Amino acid sequence: MTRKVSTQVVHSGEARRKPHGAITTPIVQSSTFTFENTAAVLAFMERKTARTAAREGGGDLSLRDEYGRYSNPTLTAAEGKLAALEGAEGAVLFATGMSAITTSMLALLSAGDHAIAVRDTYRRTREFASSFLPRYGVESTLVPIGDMDALAGAIQPNTRLIFCETPTNPYLRIMDLAAVAELAQGRDIVTMVDSTFATPINLHPLELGIDLAVHSATKYLGGHNDLLAGVVMGRNSLVTKIQEARGLLGGMGGPHDAYLLIRGLKTLPLRVRQQNESASRISEFLDAHPKVSRVFYPGLPSHPDHAVAVKQMSGFGGVVSFEVAADKAGTSRFIDALQIPYIGPTLGGVESIVQQQALFISLKAEDRRAAGISDSLVRYAVGIEDADDLIADLDQALAAV
């Protein structure tokens, strides 16, 4: 029986009967896991040796826990829940979203390979692809988002990875994932998408033909601004390679963060639906306000990728970006006049968080221009507060401009 998402986030990945009859999965705070006797060690090593063949044949990939850098029962439960939520065969949990991205790229690419990344990806991801990977013989090409001709033209005989992000930060551009998957089909190219802003509630990249979905679980998946984690999900033949690289490179997260992530995931549909609804209302309010010059939100018909968003997303997310009709100082006055959201660099939690994007990029005007960020750009990450209260707060703050 296929269960709906609200049931999956509560029950998937966790054992029905947990130790001591607890209803929640325990935090297994242990660096190592012992064996009863030598026979148990030998059985484990035989299964471990056969794991590669099982991976290639699509067989059972499970192993008991051995050492905390490789696996942990609490992390395994979180991975099972995440895989079910994304509709993936497997998931690999990391200490951070960046660790998930960088380890995956290192696991999938070798010297002499070529990768393509969409230019609008997170700046640290872009930096890793364009500045770090070439040190190890992997070249990369950056292409504009939405330009499928440029993407097709960038493919080389040695291209092995296409990486994109949707929605992007901060302009919330939307990549046509089905078109990306079609371009890669039959070319021995892995497609990978950072779907952090969308969440598995609003978008299912794997259903559109994408090979791997990655999330900064720090954001919406955790949902409470109290953990750091990242996750990559997809088919086992790819996921196991990434899992092995995690054990080698050491990007394993801790059991306490995994426990917090499990807890956060159980309310994910409720939170995201509230954030979708509030962000949609806020975008419409801002779009009609005389002191706002432009709004960037995929749910608005004015957004350049609105048609693509409608086609592939079930909700448009909880982030609204907009330009205040003011200079840098006037935009700062608006930010400081807000009374509900906190000023900060993250998103996806229950608290609304706002930032004047330019100030978080660089204090140098030339750097901001190079990044395509205007001094009046605001990114508003909507929390789960009442939408009427958030709109009233925005209205009074805009009066200060």
| 81 is a catalytic site residue | no
| 122 is a catalytic site residue | yes
Q: Is the pLDDT of residue 60 over 70?
A: no
The tally of CA atoms less than 13 A away on the side-chain side of residue 290 is: 2
Which of 126, 160, 219, 379 is catalytic? The answer is 219
Picking from 15, 36, 37, 34, the residue whose alpha carbon sits closest to that of residue 26 is 15
Domains of the chain by start residue, with CATH? 5-32+67-265 (3.40.640.10), 268-398 (3.90.1150.10)
Q: What is the mean pLDDT of the chain?
A: 94
Q: In what order do the strands lie in the sheet with 230-234?
A: 90-94, 230-234, 212-216, 190-194, 159-165, 114-118, 139-143
Instruction: Read off the pLDDT band of 252 (50, 70, 90).
Output: very high
Q: Is the pLDDT of residue 148 over 90?
A: yes
Instruction: Read off the pLDDT band of 379 (50, 70, 90).
Output: very high
Which of 119, 122, 294, 328 is catalytic? The answer is 122
Number of H helices, E strands in the chain: 17, 12
What is the per-residue pLDDT for 362? 74
DSSP lists the bridge partners of residue 365 as none
What is the per-residue pLDDT for 224? 97
Q: What percent of the chain has pLDDT over 70?
A: 97
The tally of CA atoms less than 13 A away on the side-chain side of residue 144 is: 6
User: pLDDT tens, 281-317?
Assistant: 999 999 999 999 999 999 999 999 999 999 999 999 9
More confident of the two residues 105 and 59: 105
Q: Which two tokens stand for residue 120?
A: 């609008």
**DSSP letter string, 208-273:** GT-SEEEEETTTTTT-SS----EEEEE-HHHHHHHHHHHHHHT----HHHHHHHHHHHTTHHHHHH
Which of 18, 47, 51, 69 is catalytic? The answer is 69
pTM greater than 0.95 (yes/no)? no
Q: Is the pLDDT of residue 367 over 80?
A: no
Three-state DSSP class for residue 294: strand
What is the per-residue pLDDT for 56? 53
Q: What is the dihedral of CA 329, 330, 334, 335, to 10 degrees?
A: -20
Residue type, 42: L
| 69 is a catalytic site residue | yes
What is the per-residue pLDDT for 370? 77
Mean pLDDT of 222-228: 97
Which of 113, 120, 176, 194 is catalytic? The answer is 194
Q: What is the dihedral of CA 396, 397, 398, 401, to 10 degrees?
A: 120
Buried b (16+ CB within 10 A) or exposed e, 83-94: bbbbebbbbbbb
The Cβ of residue 329 has, within 10 Å, a number of other Cβ atoms equal to: 10
| 328 is a catalytic site residue | no
User: pLDDT tens, 90-109?
Assistant: 999 999 999 999 999 999 99
Q: Is the pLDDT of residue 12 over 60?
A: yes
Output phi, psi for 308, to 5 deg: -65, -40
What is the per-residue pLDDT for 61? 57
Q: Are residues 337 and 396 in contact, defined by beta-carbon separation less than 8 angstroms?
A: yes
What is the per-residue pLDDT for 366? 80
User: pLDDT tens, 15-56?
Assistant: 999 988 999 999 999 999 999 999 999 999 988 888 766 555
What is the per-residue pLDDT for 53? 60
What is the per-residue pLDDT for 345? 93
Q: What is the dihedral of CA 203, 208, 214, 219, to 10 degrees?
A: 0
What is the per-residue pLDDT for 186? 92
Mean pLDDT of 6-20: 90
